[in-house]
Structure 1
């Protein structure tokens, strides 16, 4: 039960003088350590760009209510609800996606609100429940959102050049791109004109009617506009000029909408959030010069981790000069890899098999524990509670690196883990 405001006021009169008298030094917050903070814009933005970034930041933090158009069914009330401090989310706030296999095909169960479960609802509506027929269920922890502008600016050719779907070089790694059908995109969340505009802005062009996916656990979205519009619609039930219809779940009868005029956010708001995400700085490194960290990085390459978690990439052209052509270190190839039965939830998106996952960028992994409030949860659903646990879940194409890590003596394992914590 909340404390009455009069009681709070009384406590202020008692506690504040006590705090002032208890210490001879002024009570001031400590300086923010930039090496342990994820949010913040990239350097060198103009005054206009800083203002747009700040507006996007405010919209990212905005909490929607029913009066604003939230729902009628939804998962979260704001972007920041899942991406607290722009960092990796906590499993308590995982989203759930589901489906089933019928006659050899994957059914996303749209008649039951699939593929994403909206487990909350505004007053007067029923939240969705997992349907009894769902046989494939996956839970996804929200990723950190820093440095995404660099990943978006990667040329398709760079991603495709690192692919080796038939393992032609015989190294046991057969990463392949997620090819997203433009027809599926139009059906899902984004219009033909949006696709054309996005391709012009990010230089990502369709090949044979398909785009190279790069965002999401299974690389299902093609750029930050696509990802943002999807999140507004599927996570918050907020309509935009890109997706002007409220979520419709026949299973709970929410076809009537929330009674708020659509669209509920303008294209300008969406654009500000996209710009904010594009201009968030990459996660900072720590202790990169330590001998143990450097030895750990060498071991990381030696046991084959860098075959998928590619350390350094170069951005392509971007309308943000600081990003265009920049070298950056995300430790990913953005390709799909078969991770074996250990990470097979039975659920699939796009052309990814249930056991295939996009290589998660490792930058910022050393700040996961801080972002999650003191407890660490790794992998797509937070099932691993330590870095060694996360490594042990690597099967399939990651099995040889897992075995090599296990074979290292304790001192070498500690150095490799020190390297990961420096990212």
Structure 2
């Protein structure tokens, strides 16, 4: 073998994959920056996010490794790029610190709705994907109160006297998912005496240890210790509820709609929400119709991407979860045919979420994705028929109405329900909530 061949064998790959399974092209970076990225991705630091907040015009993320670090993403103004700093003091002009690379990779994972797994992202010299755009702008358009859920990182308000329930509700929900998986139960059925009772809320009381109740004790540990939560999640199974991507997207849509509904009922919500510490109307995108629609459309895109880009076909439980999420999203949008006074919309469509996504033009909203999952969707036939009736009453483009009608006809085929029932019965039965089709 020639020396030239040996040199080629020693060349490092130009594309690297991050722990969050995003691919980056780095061959255009200086060698120091390439080495830094490879080092972080090959041996990722053991980091747990503690909290995040908005301080004036700066997003701050606090994380722990062996010591607590604080990453700050500051808006520079005048069209300049964000200022990225970390309290660790490491890194430099050609080599961003590991905390910045780690955090910005996770920001990209949460905010990029159009990411194609087959096309690597382009790593910038500052340690984040070029496709992310300006990090501060990406967060402000996504909104920190939505982003924090995906990062498993509560938003804190230092002015609050005690912990805000909504602030911690996502961590409580995910802890319930982790614990229920140990028993092979659905999260909704696990320990209602703890999670569905205000009197015994895990957020109440200072004691972590509860005698004769290991579930409650472990729950309090999951809520109180970020590293323990991350460790518990890291050993969970791929098909556990907390790792179900479709369930997570459904929860994201619910979060978006809660914020949207609160803003719709009181536009001042955008500037007085308890999950931020300063006036945000001029910093974060207001939670109006276009903002909510962008998130909802992004979630349906991700569902379609999950279906098409898997290395293996979806398991029956996965198709069931995907269909359940799509029907939930569709029903939620159809139920929001109300005009919202946002003060900035220029057309009625921008005042009405239903009109924006369904009523004004045909974009195959949710129907295209449901057509990819006919067997699983057939288990929701009655719900879809009710939604179809609502759309007929509210009005929609004729082409969309006909596509929906065609989908229902396809789902009424008897073989659909029977086939999926046989498949689901072969699994562990975690989500056997569906009625058999008649």
Q: Same fold (TM over 0.5)?
A: no
Give 1 or 2: higher helix fraction: 2
With the length of structure 2 as denominator, give the TM-score of the two structures: 0.25
With the length of structure 1 as denominator, give the TM-score of the two structures: 0.25
